[in-house]
Amino acid sequence: MRQPHLLSVASLLLVLSLPVTARADDVLDAIDAARAAYEAGNIQDTIDELGNAQQLVATMKAAGLLGFLPEAPDGWTREVRTDMGTALSLSLFGGGVGAAASYARGDDTFTVTLMADNAMVEAFADLLGNLGALASGSQVTVGGEAFLDQGGELTGLIEKRILVQASGAPVEVMTPLLETIDFAGMKAFGS
């Protein structure tokens, strides 16, 4: 049985311990390490370091997506989830990046989830993009964007690649917060 390389184990531990943001220099360091490993003929270390660089870039992208989560309005609290930022945590859902936050005020609590560049979302883009054809809910407009209201869960698809969901409270409670999202900026996200 092949033993894992210490470098790949160390790279995984490093990635798992990274804060939400990564420095561009860390990305360049990983790319340089991959190049050095390649030039030395060590293909596995090359793969590991390229994976490390990819994860660092995904972490940076996830931090950018976090910026689209609305701040808590007056009288509300916001708790940002830190466990779904990158492809590593979204691998079961087709990769990509994600961000989520829970909002609470008294008895009202709901969650806003964003997923971008996710294979599962892209596979359903045509279906979600044609919200009016879905019989399981009604279409509402939030911040100029079409959302499907499925009995209290709002789902929108921005640019056929960014899923925006809000669930857990009545639509009239969640809608004002969703209207504060910078949808125009979101459309340019990751470009």
- pLDDT, tens digit, 9 for 90 and up, residues 37-84: 999 999 999 999 998 888 787 777 777 788 899 999 999 999 998 765
User: pLDDT over 90 for what percent of the chain?
Assistant: 41
Exposure b/e, 92-120, CB count within 10 A at least 16 = b: ebebbbbbbbbbbeeeeebbbbbbbbbee
Does the pLDDT at position 1 exceed 50? Answer: no
Number of residues written out for the chain: 191
The pLDDT, as a whole number, for residue 83 is: 67
The pLDDT, as a whole number, for residue 152 is: 82
The pLDDT, as a whole number, for residue 136 is: 67
Q: If you average pLDDT over every residue of the chain, what do you get?
A: 78
Least reliable range by pLDDT among 2-6, 73-77, 133-137, 156-160: 2-6
How much is the pTM?
A: 0.68
Q: Are 51 and 9 in contact (CB under 8 A)?
A: no
Tens digits of residue pLDDT in 170-179: 999 999 999 9
The pLDDT, as a whole number, for residue 41 is: 95
Cβ partners under 8 Å of residue 43, min gap 6: 37
How far CA 19 is from CA of 62, 102, 115, 168, in Å, comes to: 11, 20, 19, 28
Does the pLDDT at position 85 exceed 60? Answer: no
- Strand ranges (DSSP E) for the chain? 77-81, 97-105, 108-116, 138-142, 145-149, 154-158, 162-167
Task: Give the tokens for residue 24.
Answer: 């561009």
The pLDDT, as a whole number, for residue 32 is: 93
Task: Give the tokens for residue 23.
Answer: 């420095």
Class of domain 69-187 (CATH, top level): alpha beta
Q: What is the mean pLDDT of residues 136-152?
A: 86
Q: Please report which confidence band the pLDDT of residue 36 belongs to, taking 50, 70 and 90 as the band edges.
A: very high
Domain boundaries, the chain: 6-65, 69-187
State the Cα–Cα distance between residues 102 and 168, nearest whole angstrom. Answer: 9
State the Cα–Cα distance between residues 165 and 142, nearest whole angstrom. Answer: 12
